[in-house]
Structure 1
Amino acid sequence: MSDSSDDDYTLEQAKEDIDILRRVEDETVEAIENAEEEAVIEFLIEDEGLDITHDGERGLGKVRRAVLGSTVASDELKRLVSLRGDETPEDVLVPRDVKRNAQVALEAGKPVVLYGPTGTGKTTFAKQLARETCVGYTLNTATPSWTPSDIIGGISPDYSGESLSYRTKLGCVSEAVQRARRFDVEYGVILDEITRADISKIFGPLYTAIENPHQTIFETDEGETIELDERVNIICTMNMSDRTVNELDNAITRRFAMIELDEYEEDKRRQLFKDWLNTHVSGHTDLDESELLRLFERDYQGINHGNESTSQGSIMRFGPMHYRDVAIFLGVGCREGGAYEHDQTNAVGQAFQTYIVPRLLNSAAFPQVERIAEHYRALNGEFEEFDLAPAAELAERELEQERRQMGSYE
């Protein structure tokens, strides 16, 4: 590589050395660390994509870490390398007040909980929120086995040596703190579907840290102490079909900004349906897209707002994102050579049986199961060009099972 001092690697030198930099990772790292100005790093990353060359399509390898640690790289450039491979949609569809409230809460230093029915796009919006407010983020999905160590950190067995030993292991929040410190950037941590875990148990130490931000919550084997950092944004999602706000521990509602994500504006919801049908169904099947759009709307309205003709109210809250899976199923199944190429009418009912009805039944009480079965019987009669019998029959089977169970308890 061209001779240069340790602190003034120029754009001209980078262009001259580009063949070497493409081949040798360590030389690229050194060039970034000694870059005279941001233009050098822009050339290496934006123009030449050397982070992809050496680190791959995603992940924090040596080159991206060098960019994040650079004192001349802008936050925009750091965000670029941190989010490589992130395919989160840029178009934010949530209501304006939801977005503003979440942004203000994070700016005020409050962790955020996005809660609402299944299928309302909470995880997608959480990622969009993290992308807009932070240089990078991690996504962590809760499980029933989560403990406080998954959040804060704990002791973990180390099998790398000749004998078993134990080392400290960072939790997802502690890891975000470490990255924010190391690279001096705003960093996000998303805790997805936290109702899968025991919230009171896993968040206990985090509650304490939120109340006392200067208190050490973890210490690594190297002696580094971890405290909550104002540069770390904590964003949680919560499926409210699992529980209601009233059932939550007061500790979380006191310490987190609770932001409901429920109803989409009608024009945005319809546009979502149209986009999915246009992307996945149009040109790939013989299905009538206008009728599919009407079916999506009738189904969504019937579940969320009930039947005006019978004065029956909402069955349950159910988000629009589920219909994307239906559109993809139809596009794949009904295309040339697809499993339903010659049975496209039946494919619609099979898609609803596979992606919509099970998700409704998953959280439905007996009266709701009755309404779901009734709803799909009615839709099957209304949409003669689609065979929705598979969806209706699945709901009927669940209803019969519920009746048998109720009878066994009498």
Structure 2
Amino acid sequence: MGTRQREDTYSKERVEGLLDQPLKSNADMAVDAIELAENIDVLKFLIEDHKIDVVHNQENGLGEVRRAVLESDKAPNSLKQKVATRGDDTTKLESLVPEAVKKSALGALEAGKPVVLYGPTGTGKTTFAKQLALETSVGYTLETASPSWTKQDIIGRVEPNYNEDTISYRKEPGCVSEAVLRARDFDAPYSVIIDELTRADISKIFGPLYTAIENKHQTIFTTDDGRTIELDPEVNIICTMNMSDRTVNELDNAITRRFAMIEVSEYKEDDRRELFSTWTAQYLYDSTAVKSGELQELFEEDYTRLNGVNTDDAKDGIQQFGPMHYEDVAKFIGQTTKAGGVYEEDPQLAVGESFRTYIVPRLLNSATYSQVNKLAEHYEKLDDEFDFDLSRATELVQSELASEEQRMGT
């Protein structure tokens, strides 16, 4: 980390004397203190008691002070994770997936198998992916796949570097290669999360990765400084994909052979109701016009009828849909119906508008004609049964239904 002149070690007494000046004003000295800390207690004093990494690197990001902790051979993994996850609220969230799902995912990662978490939209797959990463490694990087992705986004690419009249080239690692480098540099397990995998052409982007999974000694990338990158057992690869209208069997079997496919779908009733209760309490505290208990019941009725929960046959449901979407609804209603909010005078309409904005479009995004038809009936019934004004949500579904019928000539 440079060639600065440094004293031999930093004891706790020494850093206490330097804490305000210059340790909190000089990032170079803070790095020195971390690199030359006498023992773990010095590191804990700087990071846990005085958050020296936040002083210099703010709440997020991997700055030089934070990297010094991560690369320290004295810092335990628990301390490395603390600096790697500054500002990450995932560390405060309770895992709500069924215990069997959690055990299957952890077991696959422990066995060295990459994981794909699949299921309907809104089931908390991304949050669970972060929780898996933090339970098995000191930190993670998260990338969201896109249709433009190629294998270079996974493995790495050569990028031009323009400087006035000259051009040179540099090698830029892809997300998996970068995770390997971090695991080596930090001497600790590290994870990479690839979110919404089905947005990309999986066969196209994962070709070289498949080969590397089969042959752990296969070099997948070489950096500018000549470091070769192979899949490291200390690197966890965790992917998520929405499967509302697809089944695992419809995927290229190349991925189902090499990845552990873990379904994340149904939430237990108690867990679901606890989510709804938490969100309404959190976001409706300023609103007396919309009663939290009534809103919770609307959430529950919408969710159970959409998913066919509490029926003799799950096929009675309309469409698989996760509970996480309702947090956006609660937040919208709380903000718009409070004093000065745009729906302060018409809170019942705010509920319908929130469903039109955050629930219905996500359902229509993957709905078949038959499902759109059922959705129209579903929201008409809810509008009749509840005092909330759901007409705006109903109108959007009916508009989509009319468009579908026009396309079909019916």
Tell me if TM exceeds 0.5.
yes
- 47-56 or 119-128, which moves further after superposition? 47-56
- 78-87 or 154-163, which moves further after superposition? 154-163
**Secondary structure, in 3 states, of the residue corresponding to 1:35?**
coil
Counterpart residue number, 1:60: 62
Residue type of the partner of 2:18?
Answer: D
Deviation at 1:283, TM superposition (A): 3.4
Contact 1:195 1:242 in 2 (8 A): no
1:379 aligns with 2:392: no
Residues 313-332 of structure 1 mapped to structure 2, 5 A cutoff: 313-332=316-335
Residues 10-409 of structure 1 mapped to structure 2, 5 A cutoff: 10-18=11-19, 19-88=21-90, 89-160=92-163, 162-241=165-244, 243-305=246-308, 313-383=316-386, 385-407=387-409
Identity among equivalent positions (%) equals: 59
- 234-243 or 372-381, which moves further after superposition? 234-243
Contact 2:6 2:32 in 1 (8 A): no
Supply the distance in 2 between the matched residues of 1:87 and 1:23 (Cα, whole angstroms). Answer: 28
Supply the distance in 2 between the matched residues of 1:310 and 1:148 (Cα, whole angstroms). Answer: 43
**Secondary structure, in 3 states, of the residue corresponding to 2:194?**
strand
Supply the distance in 2 between the matched residues of 1:310 and 1:172 (Cα, whole angstroms). Answer: 43
Contact 2:155 2:173 in 1 (8 A): yes
**Secondary structure, in 3 states, of the residue corresponding to 2:89?**
coil
Deviation at 1:90, TM superposition (A): 2.4
Per-residue deviation, residues 104-163 of structure 1 (Å, max 9, x unmatched): 110100000000000000000001111111101000000000000000001112124542
Deviation at 1:17, TM superposition (A): 1.3
Supply the distance in 1 between the matched residues of 2:139 and 2:365 (Cα, whole angstroms). Answer: 34
**Secondary structure, in 3 states, of the residue corresponding to 1:93?**
coil
Per-residue deviation, residues 31-56 of structure 1 (Å, max 9, x unmatched): 11111101101111111111011111
Contact 1:306 1:315 in 2 (8 A): no
Supply the distance in 2 between the matched residues of 1:85 and 1:162 (Cα, whole angstroms). Answer: 42
**Secondary structure, in 3 states, of the residue corresponding to 1:164?**
strand
Residue type of the partner of 1:346?
Answer: L
Supply the distance in 2 between the matched residues of 1:226 and 1:311 (Cα, whole angstroms). Answer: 47
Contact 1:285 1:331 in 2 (8 A): no
TM-score by length of 2: 0.95
Contact 1:306 1:312 in 2 (8 A): no
Deviation at 1:71, TM superposition (A): 1.2
Per-residue deviation, residues 183-218 of structure 1 (Å, max 9, x unmatched): 111000000000000001000010000000111000
Per-residue deviation, residues 212-265 of structure 1 (Å, max 9, x unmatched): 011100011211110000000000001002532121000100000000000001
Counterpart residue number, 1:9: 10
Supply the distance in 2 between the matched residues of 1:315 and 1:260 (Cα, whole angstroms). Answer: 19
**Secondary structure, in 3 states, of the residue corresponding to 1:394?**
helix
Change in 2 beyond 3 A, CA 1:282/1:167: same
Residue type of the partner of 2:107?
Answer: V
Change in 2 beyond 3 A, CA 1:228/1:306: closer
Residue type of the partner of 1:16?
Answer: G
User: Structure 1: which 5+ residue stretches go unaligned?
Assistant: none
Deviation at 1:308, TM superposition (A): 5.5
Residue type of the partner of 1:142?
Answer: A
Residue type of the partner of 1:74?
Answer: P
| Number of positions where the alignment pairs a residue of Structure 1 with one of Structure 2 | 404
Supply the distance in 2 between the matched residues of 1:155 and 1:310 (Cα, whole angstroms). Answer: 54
Supply the distance in 2 between the matched residues of 1:309 and 1:50 (Cα, whole angstroms). Answer: 58
TM-score by length of 1: 0.95
Aligned residues: CA RMSD:
1.7
- 311-320 or 147-156, which moves further after superposition? 311-320
